Amino acid sequence: MASTAVPGDGPAGRGLLPVPPALREVLPDGGLRRGAAVSVAGGDTGLLLALAAGVKETEGGWAAAVGLPELGLAAAEGYGLDLRRLLVADDPGPHWAEVVSVLAGAVELVMLRPDGPVAPKLAARLAAVLRRSGCVLLVAGPWPGAVLRLGVRSGRWFGLGDGYGQLAGRQVEVVAEGRGSAVRGRTARLWLPDEHGAVRPVREPQALEHPVLDHLAPDRPVTAHPVTAGPRATGPRPLEQAAVV
């Protein structure tokens, strides 16, 4: 019933669901095509959340998370999700497909981790529901018939030394593969997340030459790193806190 309810903007407004600017270049259409299923291979939660953050740009749009009880809500907020417009169904169990098809009629985007492997027939049925409603389905894991498959390659965390520093960001290479116009693999090098917990493109290509491993060398000063020298350097120092105790 609700799945037949087309969102108010109608077929004309059915183009794309916006994504944060940093992710635009990696997506063939520059956004998430409404009514499509996108698979985040490997289930990288950070990428999943970053992709979902664009829902905020739509007018009063809601998002839903189905079967993702371990979603870091604070991280989701960092990426730009509006938690006040997020519905969570932690344990849908075998009812996940029913829940997704009902929610698809009401929200702009559903994040999903299905309860086990998905039969192609079921995926096709849900695809029809999604097309009708214009809702985007982001699946953590494989999905039969996904329009687009996104993955994270060579993730590397920055900011930690040998007993000092704090996590200040992760550099990843996001890879997109898809059907049709997006048949060629696209890649983008991103901070996912950056030091503020959001997503942004990597500007200094040489940054990758200083991975965390190098920090273990005691002669390399940590301030040489572009990220730790950033605005977060004034954040809470773990050992100072310890002295108070």
Partner 1 sequence: MSSTSGTSGARGTNSTSGTSGTTEDADRTPRVLVVWCPDWPVVAVTGDDPVAVTEGGRILACSAGARAAGVRQGQRLKLAQRLCPALELRDRDPEAETRRFEPVVAAVEAFTPRVEVIRPGLCAIPVKGPGRYFGGEEALAAKVGTAVAEALARRPVPDAVPGAEPVPEPAPTPTPTPTPTAPEPAAEPPTAPAPAPEPPTAHVGVADGLFAAVLAARAGVLVPQGRTAEFLAPYPVGALGDEALAELLGRLGLPTVGAFAALPPEAVADRFGPVGTVAHRLARGLQPRPLVPRDQEPDLAVEQRFDPPEPLAEPLVFVARTLAERLHQRLAGAGLTCRRVAVEVVCADGRAASRLWRHEGRLSATALAERVRWQLQAWQGAGTFAASVSGEGGGFTLLRLAPDGLSPDQGRQLALWGQAVADDRVERAVARVQAVLGHAGLRRIEPSGGRGPGEQAVKVPWGEPYEAAAPADAPWPGRLPDVWPAVVLRDPAPVRVLDGAGLPVTVDGRAGVSARPVLVVFQGREERVEGWTGPWPAVEYWWDQALARRRARFQVVVGGGRALLLTVEGGAWYLEAGYD
The interface with partner 1 within residues 3-42 (CB under 8 A) comprises 5, 7
Asked if 200 touches partner 1 (CB under 8 A), the answer is no
- 223/241 with CB nearer partner 1: 241
Report strand pairing: 165-178 vs 186-191: antiparallel
Give the torsion sign (CA, 179, 148, 131, 30): negative
Told to check if 230 binds partner 1 by CB under 8 A, we report no
Of residues 71 and 148, the one with the C-beta less far from partner 1: 71
The amino acid at residue 75 is A
The 8-class DSSP code of residue 108 comes to S
Question: What residues from 152 to 171 belong to the interface with partner 1 (CB under 8 A)?
Answer: 154-157, 160-170
Closest by CA position to 83, among listed 65, 106, 59, 99: 65
DSSP β-ladder status, 136-140 and 148-160:
unpaired
- Verify binding: residue 122, partner 1, rule CB under 8 A: no
Alpha-carbon separation of residue 233 from 72, 154, 164, 193 (angstroms): 24, 25, 12, 16
Q: List the one residue from 148, 193, 202, 225 that touches partner 1 (CB under 8 A).
A: 193
Binding characters for partner 1, 55-94, by CB under 8 A (x = yes): -----x-x------xxxxxxxxxx---xxxxxxxxxxx--
Distance of closest approach, residue 8 Cβ to partner 1, in angstroms: 8
